[in-house]
Amino acid sequence: MARIAALLLLVLGLLPIANWIGGGHAAPWYADRVDGWLSGGGIILGVTVIAGIVFRRYPGVWRAGWWRGVAHHWRRLGWRADLGIGAVALAVYATVARQVLSAKPLLIDEIIQLYQARIFASGRLWLPAPEQPEFTGAMHLIDWGGKVYGQFPAGGPAMLAIGTLLRAEWLVVPCFAAIGVVAFARLLRRIEGRDGTALAALLLYAFAPMTAFLGGSMMNHVTALSWILLGAWALAEATATARARALPALAMGLAFGIAATIRPLDGAVFALPAGAWLLWRARRGAPHVVALLASGVGIVLPLLALAWVNTAQTGDPLRFGYIEMWGRSHELGFHEAPWGFPHTPARGLELVNLYLLRLQTHLFESPLPSLLFATAALWMARSLAAIDRWVLLSCAGVIIAYWAYWHDGFYLGPRFFLPLVPWLALWTARLPAELAERTASLPLRRAVVVGGVAALVLGAAQLLPLRALQYRNGMLSLRLDVDGAARAAGVRDALVLVRESWGAQVVARMWGLGVSRVAAEQYYRTADLCKLDDAVARVEREGGGAAALASAVAPLQADSMRLVSLTISTDSTGRVLRGEPLTATCTRRVIEDRAGFTVMAPVLLAGADGNRYVRDLHDRNLPMLAADSTRAVWLLTQSAEVGGALRFERVNLDSARADWRMR
């Protein structure tokens, strides 16, 4: 099993297979990455050679027992040491959250989960749906059937709701990430008898750049992994001896069950092999059967709560919000994906290849491939403990599951593969010990340690600050303090029209016609934006709906192969027919985009001081304004430069109405 894992990491983690399969995903940056590894490897080799010369000339410099003594002290301190490392990790994650990620949800997934968390914190499972969803709708937000709620499983928002209640939403994921560090420490004490290896694995995981950056976010991958690590610790306790232990088995089931309420796929791939292990042990007699049943009770309880929430939201205990929004095309399997392209086994292989190639950089941010040591240690492993076999089976489940999933999950690293990170850290730390069992060459073993430490130090000094700067300067348009800007502008108890890009407005208007998110995305990608805008306006005037728009768009899609990006706009996601002139209305929309627009999704989280925020839809604003005529009306835009300042402008309603009627 270990050698199969090593071969998988070697082939899919180092070779650009995605570049060899045409028509899908690719890694155009691969050549630059290899150049970096070669130059970095040369530097590390030079450092290692110099260190070898120094150690030979001055033998006293190498203190062979130093790390062993530190690790022995860590084990002797027990809980105090683990909590101390967890506290330091929490400080790091909280610093990342504040200084790098601005303590805000930046990805649409984070935004909608935080929106749902606030619904939970208010004591409700969903909000009443608006009559005109186009004004407040967002991707991943379900707003039909009389209900508004996020598409994500309930567990992740439930974790964030703790922060909502405590007025510290940004601190929830860092706290759970630190809890995961402590759980991993307790697990390592149980499964890794070599103190130096155990402590090295703990530190590698706790302070790996990918752990730290995701640990500072609001992503549900982190909370799910923390519960998985708690479950792994409980599993190790439940199986440590031949004697059955029902209480740790119950805790294991609870932890994996809660993980499944956050990310069902991640929870399942770790829970199923664990359940099979306990089932195998149940042949030993009644006490083991009791432990198995206890684990079943533990996992069922959180899943029952999840089914209750699903029933309240979608009407079906087994139907998640993302299926309600995107249909069965969102599920695992090789079929047409929600956005229209086919997800095939070859495309899935491309994604797995990309995830592992990205891990080579994002895991440790070192000048060497990050998986190099783990790959070598797996290849050298002479024997595997039962817990190691469980880990490898579960990690294989992660890879297989996301091979069959259509979406490219990349944010702050290949986030879908975050569940692999603790175990990769463990096998990375095991390389010196595995090497010691294979060879008596002291210089070789020293070279491996020196090279590994040098790679980590060089990466921390040179590459990690660049990555932090990249993340700090990214997604600036989503780091909005809308409520603060409104207070500064003196906007209170107002109706604020949020100006999004032209393309986003057209998509929202399609939602208002009852067009599904899937169909709206496909129309937007396959039709001339100007002609699509005109078709939407015509259907709105005629009082039609989704069926009428489908009929109007079908002829437009016949020219989809001739579409080019709308490069004259600052939002180039829209597409138009090459050489086709824009109408007067479309030209105005392009001019408005160039003047500056903002993004609606993060504004959904605003609303202090009595302000109500709705999407600006020009002539579609008229009936909405008539229904809410007592408020002052403002327009919210953002200056055109990247990360520009928010701007509140008072709207002269007479002029605005005249302008909107001129369409």
- Asked if residue 407 is part of any domain, the answer here is yes
490, 620: one domain: yes
654, 542: one domain: no
Output the CA angle 209-213-219, nearest 5 degrees. Answer: 140
646 strand-pairing partners: 638
Looking at residue 621, its pLDDT comes to: 86
Residue by residue, what is the 3-state secondary structure of 172-195? HHHHHHHHHHHHHHHHHHHHCCCH
640, 652: one domain: yes
pLDDT digits (tens, 9 = 90+) for 370-383: 999 999 999 999 88
- 512's enclosing H/E stretch is helix 502-512
Per-residue pLDDT, averaged over 409-428, amounts to: 96
Per-residue pLDDT, averaged over 230-256, amounts to: 95
406, 381: one domain: yes
> pLDDT category, 126, cuts 50, 70, 90?
very high
Contact indicator for 338, 518 with CB cutoff of 8 Å:
yes
pLDDT digits (tens, 9 = 90+) for 155-193: 999 999 999 999 999 999 999 999 999 999 999 999 999
Close Cβ partners of 215 (under 8 Å, ≥ 6 residues apart)? 89, 92, 93, 96, 173, 174, 177, 178, 222
336 strand-pairing partners: 342
> pLDDT category, 662, cuts 50, 70, 90?
low
C-alpha–C-alpha distance, residues 543 and 159, integer Å: 42
- Asked if residue 201 is part of any domain, the answer here is no
| Alpha-helical regions (H) of 239-343 | 246-262, 264-281, 286-314, 321-326
Looking at residue 620, its pLDDT comes to: 86
493, 641: one domain: yes
- Asked if residue 657 is part of any domain, the answer here is yes
> pLDDT category, 247, cuts 50, 70, 90?
very high
pLDDT digits (tens, 9 = 90+) for 587-634: 999 999 998 899 999 999 998 889 999 999 998 888 888 877 788 899
Give per-residue burial for 558-580: e unless 16+ CB within 10 Å, then b.
eeeeebeebeebbbeebbbbeee
- If you write DSSP's letter for every residue of 68-96 in order, what string do you get? HHHHHHHHHHTHHHHHHHHHHHHHHHHHI
Full-model pTM: 0.94
C-alpha–C-alpha distance, residues 244 and 561, integer Å: 64
Looking at residue 64, its pLDDT comes to: 72
Looking at 535, 550, 584, the residue that finishes a domain is: 584
Give per-residue burial for 466-484: e unless 16+ CB within 10 Å, then b.
ebbeebeebbeebbbebbe
Looking at residue 340, its pLDDT comes to: 76
508, 577: one domain: yes
Average pLDDT, the chain: 92
Residue 438 confidence (pLDDT) above 90: no
Residue 319's CB is within 10 A of a number of other CB atoms, namely 14
417, 545: one domain: no
Question: Poorest-confidence range of 227-236, 323-332, 413-422, 531-540?
Answer: 323-332
642, 606: one domain: yes
Looking at 529, 549, 584, the residue that finishes a domain is: 584
17, 39: one domain: yes
Looking at residue 200, its pLDDT comes to: 96
Closest alpha carbon to 349 in 392, 405, 397? 405
Close Cβ partners of 422 (under 8 Å, ≥ 6 residues apart)? 180, 184, 201, 205, 225, 229
pLDDT digits (tens, 9 = 90+) for 45-87: 999 999 888 888 888 777 778 888 999 999 999 999 999 999 9
- Asked if residue 284 is part of any domain, the answer here is no
488, 610: one domain: yes
- If you write DSSP's letter for every residue of 261-280 in order, what string do you get? HH-HHHHHHHHHHHHHHHHH
Per-residue pLDDT, averaged over 279-301, amounts to: 95
378, 455: one domain: yes
Amino acid at 451: G
Q: Match 């463990």 to its residue by tokens.
A: 426
- If you write DSSP's letter for every residue of 583-630 in order, what string do you get? PHHHHHHHHHHHH----HHHHTT--GGG-EEEE--GGGHHHHHHHTTT
- Asked if residue 232 is part of any domain, the answer here is no
Task: Provide the domain count of the chain.
Answer: 3
Structure-token pair, residue 347: 């495309």
- Asked if residue 74 is part of any domain, the answer here is no
* SS3 state of residue 637: strand
| Alpha carbon separation from 198 to 468, 554, 649 (Å, rounded) | 28, 61, 59
- Asked if residue 78 is part of any domain, the answer here is no
Residue 653 confidence (pLDDT) above 90: no
pLDDT digits (tens, 9 = 90+) for 538-576: 999 899 999 999 999 999 998 888 889 988 888 888 999
Residue 663 confidence (pLDDT) above 90: no
Q: Which domain holds residue 607?
A: 475-499+596-663
Looking at residue 51, its pLDDT comes to: 87
580, 625: one domain: no
Residue 154 confidence (pLDDT) above 90: yes
- Asked if residue 367 is part of any domain, the answer here is yes
Question: Poorest-confidence range of 13-22, 55-64, 94-103, 182-191?
Answer: 55-64
pLDDT digits (tens, 9 = 90+) for 485-502: 999 999 999 999 999 999
